[in-house]
Structure 1
């Protein structure tokens, strides 16, 4: 079931993020990108990318251990799933689309898609989406 918080985030992504990043990542390149983002966060042992058939309900999924994706994804969707991986634990606990997830996602968009942080902050506030600018990976001691 999709919550109101999820719907607000997805609407924001479609209105703000998607038009700014039209790049597509083929499945064969996804693991390299996940590995790069993980290393840029100062982390070891990134999640594995696994094949997934696209469905109408869910394009891709991300958790601490795996990102499941179809034959290609927009790069911002891959970053969305990496943000899920960063904000969940191997046991499955996570922030969903909460403030820590959004804070992590914004950091990834700024760092890897070169999006303007101030613009992202402004549009998130305008859409009533809470976020934590200090969010860190859920599974790192002291985070």
Structure 2
């Protein structure tokens, strides 16, 4: 998750306003892979992405993900991990992804509701109010 991505600024502002205040939990690196594995399995998926340390030169990046790997710092807010898992679910093994498009936002919303116990109706309404499109009932790209 890089704060420099112009296409995602509206989503990041929404997260800062609606998501971060609802979840102050922080997960140490040593526990992240177990959480990744748990969420992936709970979503009915196999072969979760592997955790890797975020390279020190990635100074403007909070975390990042592909279908095969999630790179994270020593401690990560759990909602950011769910954001990165939504990226992994909307990416293919060959590196194609949709960025922060409607499928990504739809999956992210589902993960926030199921795994962070956030209120679906309130989050969906706030996404609509912010003008952020999302695909209700979105599924991982590799299952579609």
TM-score tier, shorter chain, comes to: over 0.9
- Identify which range, 91-100 or 55-64, moves more after superposition: 55-64
Gapped regions of structure 2 (runs ≥ 5): none
Residue number in structure 2 paired with 1:48: 50
What is the correspondence of 1:1-143 to structure 2 with a 5 Å cutoff? 2-3=5-6, 5-53=7-55, 55-140=58-143, 143=144
Output the TM-score relative to the length of structure 2. 0.94
The number of residue pairs the alignment matches comes to 140
RMSD: 1.1
- Identify which range, 119-128 or 55-64, moves more after superposition: 55-64
User: How far apart, CA to CA, are the structure 2 residues paired with 1:133 and 1:26?
Assistant: 31
User: How far apart, CA to CA, are the structure 2 residues paired with 1:16 and 1:43?
Assistant: 27
Question: Secondary structure, in 3 states, of the residue corresponding to 1:68?
Answer: strand
Alpha-carbon distance, 1:56 to partner: 4.0
Output the TM-score relative to the length of structure 1. 0.94
Q: Deviations over 1:8-50 (max 9, x none)?
A: 0000000100000000000000000100011011111000000
Alpha-carbon distance, 1:51 to partner: 0.7
Question: Secondary structure, in 3 states, of the residue corresponding to 1:12?
Answer: helix
Gapped regions of structure 1 (runs ≥ 5): none
User: How far apart, CA to CA, are the structure 2 residues paired with 1:56 and 1:123?
Assistant: 30
